[in-house]
Amino acid sequence: MRQTHFILDSPLGILAIGTEDGALVTIEYKQEKKSVSASQDNLFEQLRRQLAFYFKNPKHQFDVRIKLHGTAFQQRVWREMQKIPVGETRTYGEVAKKLNSSPRAVGNACRANPLPIVIPCHRIVSKVGLGGYDGETAGRNIKIKTWLLQHEGVSFDA
């Protein structure tokens, strides 16, 4: 198993990118300043280009090999997230009903999503507002969720 890590600057701040055996496995938001990676890695370059396309046009469809580590339930939730079209949202309850589960379980799977942006957990919202994002209900992560939704044409007051 070959793992590689890269750092990428984005409109959302620094992203830490993890790959494993030629597949994307993690995207993490970082607060600390780090040097952006210069790389000859084809997967990293492909993802860098695709993220740049997405940040210019939110309708860009990601086409990069991914490898997901998670429970069977988490993976079902992540697949369901990928079906939500750009510019639309679903509530935790709507996804839970479709998967015969609970909103809390869906929220926990969203929180465990290893590939935010590519697997659009930001499109899952509360029945009465934004809900959480990456384990937070206020602060920087909610600003990121709001930015992503607005970028895709969905308006929310955070």
Task: Give the separation between CA 114 and CA 77, rounded to whole angstroms.
Answer: 12
CA–CA distance, 45 with 51 (Å, rounded to integer): 10
In 75-102, which positions are buried (b, 16+ CB within 10 angstroms) versus exposed (e)?
A: ebbbebbeebebeebbbbebbbeebebe
The single residue of 115, 121, 124, 142 carrying the catalytic annotation is 121
Q: Which residue has the tokens 């079209």?
A: 85
Residue 110 a catalytic site member: no
Catalytic residues: 121
